């Protein structure tokens, strides 16, 4: 009985100490339902307009092309990134994206919507890194990203199930209404959240007003990029896999043997993070953040390579869950490592964030394009197997090439 009360006391103390974190992640939860619903219906909307799978991939990939350009511009002109302003800008673009997508019928409206999509996802990444690095100590970074992944994955888990139930023969306005309601709930939490937020007193605000011209900024990117290159490649692999799932997954779900419950396939992709997100911090402490990310993603890629050999929906859902469980470990572990680098070199926060997001955008830019081409040439399931083999082989190379420890050494340029 004493052990039970002691455990409850610890949980309550942790909850009070991290109340701001949980409120912020609750905001992300509702926003993730909004974004997940629209992400789920995007390939279907584009296909319903008569575009081929390869054309669909190009349209979806254009979002991250714009995002990559935004990364470069943000690195130069975003002087003092702060999560309050970044989250607020994200909400503004999210609402605009919803409106554009509702009226989208031509390729140019889709491309414009994709541009907003790419930018607001960049803003979310910037805001999350800044929020966690400002409000939590370094030893809790991986745990924080794991818990954030739980809230975000719960939203993404619910989103395709909602969308799948709302889609009968065609996509109606009800889907957009529900997405809008989720966005509104997220904005309400945001308004009441950040008017008075606590930040770590020992985290000094470092001046970001360095007058660096474009050649020097490029040199700085190269210096940082060379030191982080192995982990950046892993970031690229994680997001190209994520892009594959959200490009081809809805098509398999809605056109396969899943019927009205096609959203369960994408839910299986999101569900494992709800469980492992609570434990990734302790796993990363024991094995190291980079090693946890690399080996778990390698195992997930091996599972993914078996996709083409399965036809039974239950077997497919089980395989996707196994693969997602491993990928779900790698994502917060890797982000925890990145947040450590940001904490160590505060004056280069925006450069590090921009480089990380650049590789995320490259993955999400090439992912839908490659997925569309492979699906059109080999089939939906076969494209996943090809991706799994490629990622597994690349991980083998990284296992031998990635250094055990990375300490950024940056000289002012």
pLDDT tens, residue by residue, 145-191: 778 877 887 888 888 778 777 766 567 678 888 899 999 999 999 98
What are the phi and psi torsion angles at 230 (to 5°)? -60, -45
- Residue 146, pLDDT score: 74
- C-alpha to C-alpha distance for 94 and 224, rounded to whole angstroms: 31
Query: Which tens digit of pLDDT belongs to each residue from 315-354?
Result: 888 899 899 888 888 888 887 788 777 777 666 777 777 7
pLDDT at 205 over 50: no
Would you say domain 22-195+213-401 falls under CATH 1.20.1250.20?
yes
pLDDT at 257: 67
Cβ(185)–Cβ(33) below 8 Å:
no
Question: What is the spatial distance between Cα 229 and Cα 42, in angstroms, rounded to a whole number?
Answer: 32
Model pLDDT, residue 35: 93
> Residue 18 has what DSSP assignment?
T
Other Cβ atoms less than 10 A from the Cβ of 140: the count is 18
**Does position 96 have pLDDT exceeding 70, yes or no?**
yes
The pLDDT of residue 301 is 95
Q: And the tokens for 349?
A: 């926060």
Inform me whether the pLDDT recorded for 219 exceeds 80.
Answer: no
Q: Which pLDDT value is given to residue 195? A: 58
Rounded CA separation 258/163 (Å):
14
CB 137 within 8 A of CB 200: yes
pTM of the model: 0.72
Query: How would residue 4 be classed by pLDDT, with cut points 50, 70 and 90?
Result: very low
Q: Which residue has the tokens 């399931």?
A: 381
pLDDT for the residue numbered 303: 95
Residue predicted with more confidence, 299 or 143: 299
DSSP-based three-state secondary structure for 393: helix
Check pLDDT > 70 for residue 31.
Answer: yes
**pLDDT score of 197 more than 60:** no
Whether residue 145 contacts residue 339, with contact meaning beta carbons closer than 8 Å, is answered with yes
pLDDT at position 203: 44
Give the C-alpha distances (Å, rounded to integers) separating 29 from 21, 33, 245, 274, 341: 12, 7, 20, 12, 26
Q: Are 175 and 13 in contact (CB under 8 A)?
A: no
**Which pair of tokens denotes residue 229?**
């290159």
pLDDT score at 55: 84
Q: Stretch 192-214: mean pLDDT, rounded?
A: 53
Give the tokens for residue 136.
Answer: 């939590």
State the pLDDT at residue 168: 60
- Average pLDDT across the chain, whole number: 80
**Which of 87-91, 222-226, 252-256 is predicted least confidently?**
252-256
């Amino acid at each position: 009985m004493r052990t039970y009360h002691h455990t409850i006391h610890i949980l309550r103390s942790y909850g009070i100490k991290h109340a701001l974190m949980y409120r912020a992640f609750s905001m992300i939860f509702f926003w993730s339902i909004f974004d997940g619903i629209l992400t789920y219906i995007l390939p279907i909307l584009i296909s319903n307009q008569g575009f081929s799978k390869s054309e669909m991939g190009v349209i979806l990939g254009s979002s991250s092309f714009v995002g990559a350009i935004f990364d470069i511009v943000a690195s130069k002109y975003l002087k003092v990134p702060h999560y309050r302003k970044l989250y607020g800008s994200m909400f503004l673009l999210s609402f605009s994206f919803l409106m554009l997508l509702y009226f989208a019928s031509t390729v140019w409206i889709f491309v414009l919507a994709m541009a907003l999509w790419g930018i607001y996802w960049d803003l979310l990444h910037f805001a999350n890194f800044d929020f966690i690095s400002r409000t939590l100590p370094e030893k809790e970074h991986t745990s924080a990203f794991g818990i954030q992944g739980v809230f975000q994955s719960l939203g993404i888990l619910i989103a395709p199930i909602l969308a799948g139930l709302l889609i009968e023969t065609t996509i109606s306005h009800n889907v957009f209404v529900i997405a809008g309601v989720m966005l509104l709930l997220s904005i309400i939490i945001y308004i009441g959240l950040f008017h008075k937020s606590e930040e770590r007193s020992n985290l000094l605000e470092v001046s970001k007003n360095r007058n660096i011209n474009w050649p020097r900024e490029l040199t700085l990117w190269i210096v940082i990029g060379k030191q982080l290159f192995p982990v950046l490649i892993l970031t690229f692999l994680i997001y190209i896999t994520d892009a594959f799932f959200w490009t081809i997954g809805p098509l398999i779900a809605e056109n396969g043997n899943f019927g009205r419950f096609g959203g369960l396939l994408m839910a299986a992709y999101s569900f494992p993070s709800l469980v492992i997100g609570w434990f990734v911090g302790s796993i990363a402490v024991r094995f190291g953040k980079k090693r946890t990310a690399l080996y778990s993603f390698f195992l997930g890629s091996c599972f993914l390579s078996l996709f083409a050999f399965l036809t039974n929906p239950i077997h497919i859902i089980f395989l996707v869950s196994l693969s997602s469980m491993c990928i779900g470990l790698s994502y917060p572990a890797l982000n925890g490592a990145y947040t450590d680098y940001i904490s160590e070199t505060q004056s280069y926060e925006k450069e590090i964030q921009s480089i990380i997001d650049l590789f995320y955008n490259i993955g999400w830019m090439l992912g839908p394009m490659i997925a569309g081409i492979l699906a059109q040439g080999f089939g939906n399931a076969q494209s996943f197997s090809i991706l799994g083999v490629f990622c597994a082989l690349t991980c083998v190379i990284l296992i031998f090439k990635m250094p055990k420890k990375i300490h950024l050494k940056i000289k002012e340029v």
